Amino acid sequence: MASLQVSQLSFRYETTEESSPLLDQVSFHLKEGDRACIIGKNGSGKSTLLKIIAGLLPSVSETILLNEQHHPRSALFKGLVAYIPDKPLVYDALTGIEHMTLIQSLWKMNQSEKEVYKKTFLSLCDAFDLTHALKMPVKQYSLGMRYKLFFNCMAARSPELIILDEPFTSLDEASQMQSISLLKEEFSDQCVLFTSHQRYLYSELGNRFLELDHGQLNEIER
């Protein structure tokens, strides 16, 4: 059963103790099926918080547990987390299929894992109407297609925790709604943590809402 526990997470960009922390003793818990949206003003630390939880930034202090045991700097933790930023990390010279095989290689999957990953990846591409483009080099993709490809590469690993920073901003409204429906249906057993400034998107996708203000994170009603 997927779960995320964050306790007393603090972060500051300056190293002096006199500087105010961007994140101050942040604590929250997600359980299986939670799709939690972090809301806050620009510069409030939303993206920084996501990167710390994903293990991409160190914090001053924290306890972060996935499924009650995995630390974000461990290889096992990173294998159970999919971090998807707003700008997709893809390579122009590679095709969509070559991105799939690259992920299989980077994560050192055995043959059985490769087959499961490929099946899931192709299924997601079919759902996102991307199958026709998988043999094309990514330099021919639109920004929306690039985002779909990267999302599929990450989500096909069947992570326990999906972290999305301003998701689906490069997609048209129809594709956004399709993506929201897919997340709700296909990843209902995972934890989803995301940020968004688009009210209709976070209202449709989120079932919990956390407001980040002056370093403090508090749950709010929506």
Query: Residue 18: what pLDDT?
Result: 60
Question: 119 CB contacts (<8 Å, ≥6 apart)?
Answer: none
% of the chain residues with pLDDT over 90: 80
Is the pLDDT at 1 greater than 70? The verdict is: yes
CATH code: domain 1-13+21-76+159-167+193-222 is 3.40.50.300
- Give the start-to-end residue ranges of the domains of the chain: 1-13+21-76+159-167+193-222, 81-157
Q: What is the secondary structure of 116-181 as a DSSP string? A: HHHHHHHHHHHHTT-GGGTTSBGGGS-HHHHHHHHHHHHHTT--SEEEEESTTTTS-HHHHHHHHH
Is the pLDDT at 53 greater than 80? The verdict is: yes
**Residue with structure tokens 């991409």?**
56
Mean pLDDT for the chain? Answer: 93
Calculate the alpha carbon distances from 132 to 48, 95, 96, 115, 178 in Å: 36, 11, 10, 20, 18
Asked if residue 193 lies in contact with residue 165, where contact means CB atoms within 8 angstroms, the answer is no
Query: Residue 15: what pLDDT?
Result: 61
**Residue with structure tokens 């359980």?**
31
Can you tell me the mean pLDDT for 61-68? 87
Distance CA 114, CA 105 (A): 9
- What band does 114 get if pLDDT is binned at 50, 70 and 90? very high
Distance of alpha carbon 32 from the chain centroid:
15
192-203 pLDDT tens trace: 999 998 888 889
- What band does 17 get if pLDDT is binned at 50, 70 and 90? low
Query: Residue 16: what pLDDT?
Result: 55
Can you tell me the mean pLDDT for 170-183? 91
Is the pLDDT at 62 greater than 90? The verdict is: no
Query: Residue 221: what pLDDT?
Result: 86
Can you tell me the mean pLDDT for 25-50? 96
Distance CA 119, CA 152 (A): 11
Query: Residue 155: what pLDDT?
Result: 96
Query: Residue 127: what pLDDT?
Result: 93
Can you tell me the mean pLDDT for 169-187? 91
| 3-state class (DSSP) for residue 19 | coil
Amino acid code (one letter) for 52: I
Distance CA 12, CA 21 (A): 4
Phi, psi dihedrals of residue 46, rounded to the nearest 5°: -60, -50
| 3-state class (DSSP) for residue 193 | strand
138-153 pLDDT tens trace: 999 999 999 999 999 9
